Amino acid sequence: MNNITTHTFTEKTFKQLAAIKDPHCVSIYLPMYKKGKELNEGLGQSNLKSCLRKVQSDLIEDGYDESMVNTYLAPINNLVSELGFWRNPSDGVVIFLDRINGIRYYKLPLSFEIRTYVADHFNLFPLLPFFHNNGIYYLLNISRDHVKLFEGSRNFFQEIHIEKIAPTQLEEAVGYDFEQKMLQYRTGQMMHPAGSFHGQGEGKEDQKKELIHFFRKINEGVTKVLPHKNAPLILACTDELFPIYKKTNTHGNLWNINLSGDPEFKGENELHNQSWSLIQPYFTTNKQEKLEKFHAKSQTSKTSSQLSEIVPAAIKGKIDTLFVQKNKDVFGTYHSVKGCLILDDRKEMGNLSLLNMAAINTFLQGGNVYFLEKEVMPVKNSAMNALFRF
């Protein structure tokens, strides 16, 4: 069994879960209790037992006999009495089970509604606030001798290894001979302070050209590997290097302020805290801007509140921003060949969550997904509102 903690739940993890297909994928969402009567009376365990009964009923309804169901669900059933599972609770926990990968669970700082789901895929859209409400961003540490890339949000911070696709030191990009030349030049500067290294002389211009070459190579590698192309990218570097890197950058959302100082001398916790403080206002502003844009375009073909338009648009990657009503779901089937959407009153074996389908496809193709209370939704009588890219 995998006990995967919060800091290991990243966008990469999310994409891996989204790619899993199995006839009877089980998703269970539960709130967790950190103190008080609910904790003391084992309400979490009781909720999990209730969820297991519901999943068991769904599987039997789909043709499984009871002994097969009990065997399949045994890893989840074992969690009811496993003390380690309930120790150190977070706000919520999600449990996934499939025949290929077995069981995995994630304790997350999200307060989930109790939810069960059985289909040929996992129900993942309740996890999206982990990214969009708390923001996905990237931090690129650069100096002449130190290059690292991180993916972060308010809740996690993890390195993305780029050693195989980008230089991590100036010497890798420009060669040993140049580094030796610059070392000799700097040594000469120390012996002859009147030299031109800090002025407009040849040494400084040569160094700048080589930095530009170095940064272009970094930019090429970084832009290839970033999982979420629209997420903001922060540079952690000295104020001297920031304008030089900006000239080489091709990422569409480079943050206009750098995290100042040499990142080589900062630990990961310090980098996480400082970078999140710098970027946090961006995410609040971005959601508000998208709401304003929806209202401005509400009488045009750039927006929709019709599920029959939103679901196929999400699959085709046409949605810029999807607004989803909190604690709401809509079930049915969508036939992509016929372009036919059928709505059902409830979740049944054989249908699926249309909100899950639209939200996951939007997110995986670089769109924004925001969860709103009903009274804040642009069109309040619809569970989803979409702002299209074109």
Give the CB-side neighbour count of residue 158, counting CA atoms within 13 A: 14
The predicted structure's pLDDT at residue 273: 95
Tell me how long the chain is. Answer: 390
- Is 356 inside a domain boundary? yes
Evaluate if residue 191 carries a pLDDT over 70: no
Q: Any bridge partners for residue 206, and if so which?
A: none
Q: Are strands 319-325 and 368-372 parallel, antiparallel or unpaired?
A: parallel
Q: Which two tokens stand for residue 364?
A: 């995986």
User: For the domain that residue 272 is a member of, what is the CATH number?
Assistant: 3.30.420
Tell me how far apart the terminal alpha carbons of the chain are, to the nearest angstrom.
Answer: 45
Residues 171 and 142 in one domain: yes
Tell me which of 82, 108, 127 is where a domain ends: 127
Residue 358: other Cβ atoms inside 10 A: 28
CB 257 within 8 A of CB 278: yes
- Is 357 inside a domain boundary? yes
Going by pLDDT thresholds of 50, 70 and 90, the confidence category of residue 134 is low
In which domain, by residue range, is 273 found?
137-283
The predicted structure's pLDDT at residue 4: 40
Residues 49 and 115 in one domain: yes
Evaluate if residue 295 carries a pLDDT over 70: yes
- Is 196 inside a domain boundary? yes
Going by pLDDT thresholds of 50, 70 and 90, the confidence category of residue 271 is very high
Residues 368 and 260 in one domain: no
- Which candidate, 33, 10, 39, 135, places its Cα nearest to that of 91? 33
User: For the domain that residue 123 is a member of, what is the CATH number?
Assistant: 3.30.960.10
Angle formed at CA 251 by CA 250 and CA 254, multiple of 5 degrees: 115
Rounded Cα distance, 389 and 64, in Å: 44
Evaluate if residue 257 carries a pLDDT over 90: yes
Q: Are strands 384-388 and 319-325 parallel, antiparallel or unpaired?
A: antiparallel
Mean pLDDT estimate for the chain: 88
CB 326 within 8 A of CB 374: yes
Residues 154 and 259 in one domain: yes
- Is 255 inside a domain boundary? yes
pTM for the predicted model, two decimal places: 0.74
Greater model confidence, 231 or 387: 387
- Is 193 inside a domain boundary? yes
CB 347 within 8 A of CB 117: yes
Residues 273 and 336 in one domain: no
Greater model confidence, 255 or 83: 255
Evaluate if residue 177 carries a pLDDT over 60: no
Rounded Cα distance, 112 and 105, in Å: 14
Domains of the chain: total: 3
Query: What is the SS3 assignment for 93?
Result: strand
The predicted structure's pLDDT at residue 30: 96
- 22-70 pLDDT, tens digit each: 999 999 999 998 776 666 678 899 999 999 999 999 999 999 999 999 9
Radius of gyration for the alpha carbons in the chain, expressed in angstroms and rounded: 25
Rounded mean pLDDT, 313-323: 97
CB 158 within 8 A of CB 150: yes
Rounded Cα distance, 59 and 69, in Å: 7
- Is 192 inside a domain boundary? yes
Report the C-alpha dihedral over residues 176, 177, 182, 185, rounded to 10 degrees: 140
Residues 101 and 212 in one domain: no
Tell me which of 101, 127, 153 is where a domain ends: 127
Rounded mean pLDDT, 346-356: 94
Rounded mean pLDDT, 139-144: 95
Residues 120 and 141 in one domain: no
User: For the domain that residue 307 is a member of, what is the CATH number?
Assistant: 3.30.1330.30
The predicted structure's pLDDT at residue 180: 52
Query: What is the SS3 assignment for 127?
Result: helix
Tell me which of 73, 92, 127 is where a domain ends: 127
Residues 67 and 166 in one domain: no
The answer for residues whose C-beta is within 8 angstroms of residue 69's C-beta and 6 or more apart is: 56, 59, 60
- Is 291 inside a domain boundary? no
- Is 27 inside a domain boundary? yes
Residues 146 and 275 in one domain: yes
Going by pLDDT thresholds of 50, 70 and 90, the confidence category of residue 2 is very low
Evaluate if residue 365 carries a pLDDT over 70: yes
Residues 48 and 86 in one domain: yes
- 197-214 pLDDT, tens digit each: 444 455 677 788 999 999
Residues 42 and 104 in one domain: yes
Query: What is the SS3 assignment for 308?
Result: helix
Going by pLDDT thresholds of 50, 70 and 90, the confidence category of residue 248 is very high
Residues 9 and 75 in one domain: yes
- In the block, tokens 């891996």 appear at 16
